Amino acid sequence: MRELFVIGIGAGDPDQVTVQAIKAMNKVDVFFVVGKGDEKQDLVDLRTTILTEHVKRPHRVVAIADPPRDRTPSDYQGVVDDWHERRAMLFEAEFAAEPGVGAILVWGDPSLYDSTLRIVDRVLERGKVAFEYSVIPGVTSVQSLAAAHRIVLNRIGEPVHITTGRRLAEGLPDGVDNAVVMLDAHCTFTRVPGDNVQIWWGAYLGTPDEVIVAGNLRDVEDEIRRVRAELRERKGWIMDTYLIRR
C-alpha cells in the first residue's frame, strides 16, 4: 500500500460525512473495516451505507476481525498495549497485501478516544511496510450530542472537560463544572454527588436509533439507566455520550 487515509465519518448519519471525506474516499481502492462481531453488524452496515451513498469509483472492502481483549482488567494499560500490538499485526498484514490506496473509516473523529492513529503509527514503527498517510476530521458524538439537545457545551467563559466513565468514577476535578463523558459502561453519572446537577444524555447518536434524555440528574438518572439497559438488551451493544453540568 502506498497511501492511507484515516477518515472520520461522523457518528453514524451519512449526511455527517464531510465534503473533504467524500473527496478522499473517492481516491481509495480498498477500505479496511474492523469488525466487532455479529452483535455489532449494524455498525458495518452503516459503513456500507456510507460507501454506497458517497463513493462512485470501484473499490473493495477488506474486513479485519478485531482481536478480543479483557474488558475488566487489573492492568488496564498493559491489556490495551497488548491489544494495540495484536491489532497492528493484523493491519500490517493487510496493508502489505494491498498495492494501491487504502482507507480506514473511523466513527466520529480519529482524534477523540479512538486508537486507529496509534495503531497506524505502530505499524510504521515496526518497519515492515511503508506508506504515507493523511487524517480527515469528522463530526464527533460530542458534537452530535450537543446538536441533538440544541445546547452549548459550556456556559460563557467556562471550560469543558472531556473524560471517560472510568475517570469520572474518581470524581470531577476541582473547578470543572461542565464534563462530557464517553465510554461509560457502568452509568457512573449516578455517582456524581449533588442535587443541582443537570445531564444531557444520548445513545446511538447520529443514527436512526438515536435516543436522548435530559433533565436534573437526580430526576432522570433512573430513567436513563432503565432506557440504557433496555436498548443494550435489544441491540446487544450500546454507544452513549453525555454532558453533566454542576
- One domain for residues 129 and 157: no
Pairing type for strands 211-216 and 198-203 reads antiparallel
Contact (Cβ atoms closer than 8 angstroms) between residue 17 and residue 54: yes
Instruction: Answer with the one of 111, 136, 161 that is the final residue of a domain.
Output: 136
pLDDT of the chain, 246 residues: tens digit per residue: 789 999 999 988 889 999 999 999 999 999 998 876 555 677 778 888 999 999 999 999 998 888 877 767 778 788 888 888 999 999 999 999 988 999 999 999 999 999 999 999 999 999 999 999 999 999 999 999 999 999 999 999 999 999 999 999 999 888 899 999 999 999 999 999 999 999 999 999 998 899 999 999 999 999 999 999 999 999 888 999 999 999
Q: Rounded CA gap, 51 and 4, in Å?
A: 16
Closest-CA residue to 105 (of 192, 18, 166, 168): 18
- One domain for residues 207 and 101: no
- One domain for residues 172 and 102: no
Q: What is the pLDDT of residue 36?
A: 64
- One domain for residues 165 and 100: no
- One domain for residues 21 and 111: yes
CATH code of residue 90: 3.40.1010.10
Contact (Cβ atoms closer than 8 angstroms) between residue 207 and residue 46: yes
Q: What does the block give as the cell for 70?
A: 479483557
Q: Look up the domain containing 99 and give its range.
A: 3-136
- One domain for residues 100 and 213: no
- One domain for residues 58 and 175: no
Closest-CA residue to 131 (of 139, 146, 120): 120
Q: What is the pLDDT of residue 159?
A: 94
Q: Which distant-in-sequence residues (6+ apart) come within 8 Å of 49 by Cβ?
A: 14
CA quadruple 89, 185, 224, 41: dihedral positive or negative? positive
3-state helix, strand, coil in the chain (%, to 5): 40, 25, 35
CA quadruple 179, 180, 185, 189: dihedral positive or negative? positive
CATH code of residue 181: 3.30.950.10
Percentage of the residues of the chain whose pLDDT score is greater than 70: 98
- One domain for residues 122 and 237: no
Q: What is the pLDDT of residue 79?
A: 86
- One domain for residues 15 and 69: yes
- One domain for residues 146 and 161: yes
- One domain for residues 93 and 173: no
Instruction: Answer with the one of 101, 136, 171 that is the final residue of a domain.
Output: 136
- The angle subtended at Cα 242 by Cα 239 and Cα 244, nearest 5°, is 160
| Number of domains the chain is built from | 2
Q: What is the pLDDT of residue 38?
A: 56
Amino acid (one-letter) located at 219: D
- One domain for residues 208 and 232: yes
pTM over 0.75? The answer is: yes
Q: What is the pLDDT of residue 78?
A: 87
Give the count of beta carbons closer than 10 Å to the beta carbon of residue 110.
22
Instruction: Answer with the one of 136, 161, 185 that is the final residue of a domain.
Output: 136
